[in-house]
Structure 1
C-alpha cells in the first residue's frame, strides 16, 4: 500500500467518525474550509521550486546539537521534509514512510532530515514513536520554513478548533504565533540547487518517497 493509500484510509476513518475518532461533521467542515482557503491563497505556488537556490540554515537537533545544511551538503545531496508536529497523524505516517526509504536514500549518498517548529522534547517523542533513524530539527518561529516559502498563519476559527483538540501549538512549539509550515519535501544538490520540490497546502496529501529516488540517482551520476 502506498503512502497516499494509507493516508486516504486514515482520513476516511477519521471523517466517518469511526472509533476512536468520533469526529463531528462541523469539525470536518472547518478543516475542509481551512484547507480550501490555503489552496486558494496560492501560497504553495510562491514556495521555492526546483531550480531555485535553497536557503542555508543551522538548526538544533533534539539533543541540542547544531546541524548545518552546509555540512550536510558537503557530504552529498540533502533531503528535507517539513513536518508539522507530533500531534499530526498524517505527518507521522509521512515520517514512517521516509524511514522506510532511509536505506535507499543513504545508499545514494544523501542525508535526510526533517524540520519542524516543535520544540526538542516533542521532536524526541516523534523520533521515538516513529522509530526514526534521522533527526527532526527544531525551526523556532518557522523561520527556515518561511525562507522556503512554506510558513502560513492559521485562521482564527482553526485556532479555536485546534485548542478544542488540545493541539496547543504555542506549547508544542514554544512560540505564540500559531503558524505552521505547509508540508513539503525537497531534494537539494551539493551546490545548493533545489532538484526536487513537492509542496502541498492540503496536509492530507503527501508524495511517496519513492518519487524522489530517481532525482537522487541523477544527482549521484552528476557528482
Structure 2
C-alpha cells in the first residue's frame, strides 16, 4: 500500500466524521478553505527547487545535540523532510513511510533528517511514537523552513479553529507566531545542490519516499 493511499484512506474516514474522529463538517470546510487559499497564494512555487543551492543549517536533535547539514553532507547526500508536528496524523504516516525506506537511503550513502518547528519534547514523542531510526530536528520559529521557502502564517480563522480544537501551536512549538512549514521533501547533493524537491501546500498530499531514490542513485554513481 502506497503512502498516498494510506493518507487518502485516513482522510476519507476523518472527513466522514467516523469514530474516533467525529469531526463536524464545519471544521472540514474551514480546513479545505485554508488549503485552497494557500494553494491559490502560489507560496509553493516560491520554494526552493531542484538546481537551487540548499541553505546550510545547524539544529538540535531531541537530546539537544547539534546536527550540522555540512557535516552530514561530508558523508554523502542528504534527504530532508519538513513536517508540521507530532500532532499531525498525515505527518506521522509520512515519517513511518520514510523509516521503511531508510535502509535503501543508507545503502546509497545518504543521511535522512526530519525537521519540524516543534519543541524537543514533542520531537522525542515523534521518535517514540513512530519508532524512528533517524533524527528529528527542532527548527525554532521555522527559520530553516523559511530559508527553504516553506514557512507560512496561518490565517486568523484557522488560528481560531486550532484554538477551539485545543491544538495550541505556540505550546507545541515554543513560538507564538502561529506559522507552519508546508510539507517539503528535498535531496541535497554533497556539493550543496538540491537534486530533488517536492513541496505541496496541500498537507494531505505527500510524495512517495521511493520517489527520491533515482536522484540518490544518480549522485551515488558520480565519484565524489
Is the TM value for this pair above 0.5? yes
Cα offsets for 1:113-133 (capped at 9, x unmatched): 000000000000000000000
- What is residue 82 of structure 1 aligned with on the other side? 82
- What is residue 132 of structure 1 aligned with on the other side? 132
Greater than 4 Å deviation, 4+ residue runs: none
Q: Determine if the alignment matches structure 1 residue 42 to structure 2 residue 42.
A: yes
- What is residue 15 of structure 1 aligned with on the other side? 15
Q: Determine if the alignment matches structure 1 residue 63 to structure 2 residue 66.
A: no
Please list every run of 5 or more consecutive structure 1 residues that lacks an aligned counterpart in the other structure: none
Q: State the distance in 1 between where 2:83 and 2:60 align.
A: 15
Q: Alpha-carbon deviation of 1:50? A: 0.0
Q: State the distance in 1 between where 2:20 and 2:182 align.
A: 27
Q: Alpha-carbon deviation of 1:58? A: 0.4
CA RMSD of aligned residues (A): 0.4
Other structure's SS at 1:9 match: helix
Q: State the distance in 1 between where 2:21 and 2:109 align.
A: 41
Q: State the distance in 2 between where 1:201 and 1:80 align.
A: 17
Q: Alpha-carbon deviation of 1:89? A: 0.1
Q: Alpha-carbon deviation of 1:214? A: 1.0
Q: State the distance in 1 between where 2:137 and 2:144 align.
A: 11
Q: State the distance in 1 between where 2:85 and 2:221 align.
A: 35
Cα offsets for 1:3-34 (capped at 9, x unmatched): 00000000000000000011111001000000
Q: Determine if the alignment matches structure 1 residue 141 to structure 2 residue 162.
A: no
- What is residue 111 of structure 1 aligned with on the other side? 111
- What is residue 176 of structure 1 aligned with on the other side? 176
Cα offsets for 1:61-82 (capped at 9, x unmatched): 0000000000000000000000
Other structure's SS at 1:215 match: helix
Please list every run of 5 or more consecutive structure 2 residues that lacks an aligned counterpart in the other structure: none
Q: Alpha-carbon deviation of 1:94? A: 0.3
Q: Alpha-carbon deviation of 1:83? A: 1.1
Q: State the distance in 1 between where 2:38 and 2:222 align.
A: 37
Q: Alpha-carbon deviation of 1:221? A: 0.5
Q: Alpha-carbon deviation of 1:166? A: 1.4
Other structure's SS at 2:221 match: helix
Cα offsets for 1:173-216 (capped at 9, x unmatched): 00000000000000000000000000000000000001101110
- What is residue 99 of structure 1 aligned with on the other side? 99
Q: State the distance in 2 between where 1:146 and 1:214 align.
A: 27
Q: State the distance in 2 between where 1:176 and 1:151 align.
A: 14
Cα offsets for 1:35-81 (capped at 9, x unmatched): 00000000000000000000000000000000000000000000000
Cα offsets for 1:108-159 (capped at 9, x unmatched): 0000000000000000000000000001100000000000000000001001
